[in-house]
Amino acid sequence: METPRDAKIVDEESEAHTEEVGLVLGDEDPEDAALHETILDEEPSWKGRILDVRTVKVELPNGRITTRDVVRHPGAAAVVALTETGKIALVRQYRTAIDRVTVEIPAGKLDPGEDPEVCAARELHEETGFRAGKMRHLTSILTTCGFCDEIIHIFMATNLTFDGATPDEDEFVNVDLVPLTELIDAVLDGKIEDAKTVVGALACDAIAHRL
């Protein structure tokens, strides 16, 4: 096995181990150019109401030709809504794909050309009835980049006011206000499985400890 680049071998008490030296982000290292696949063609395989499935023909770094199944998604926005008393607005909703109710932060897909912050604010109000006086971008995540290009932009909302939820006709949710500390405990105990909620909660908690 090759020794990782920018790593050094340290002998400590006669036991050799590898010590990491710094973070290298994707495509920042010129050597990453050799990892790229060349997209030769892309054809639609199936078109749905929210997403499309495409068959993508690629040339691998070794010259071999193969195909990839890729899901094209318009992207989404999610929001960690934090009250003045340190509680987070969460929604419980049924998810057909896993046939059970999940606990999540409010979220929804982007309309064509829509600003993610506008989308996050809209979804927060529709699902929970809260309006945000202040919005801050926390992070953006690739949900399943092995086969899907969906990006979820996660925001934190504060200075909240409540004037009633307006859910979509096909949207049925229960809303809870949960202390941030309780949510973090649930995340660390593996009780929260939704990826955007896990990331949003941990990011919000990290920021709260820096204030």
Q: Which residues pair with 174 in a beta bridge?
A: 92
Q: Which two tokens stand for residue 136?
A: 């801050």
How far is residue 119's CA from residue 111's CA, in Å, rounded to a whole number? 8
User: Which of 59, 169, 182, 193 does the annotation list as catalytic?
Assistant: 169
Whether 127 is catalytic is: no
- DSSP reduced 3-state for 33: helix
- Integer angstrom CA distances of residue 19 from 7, 22, 59: 6, 10, 34
DSSP 131-162: EEEEEEEEEEEES-TTTB--EEEEEEEEEEEE
Q: Which two tokens stand for residue 162?
A: 């409540």
Residues belonging to the active site = 169
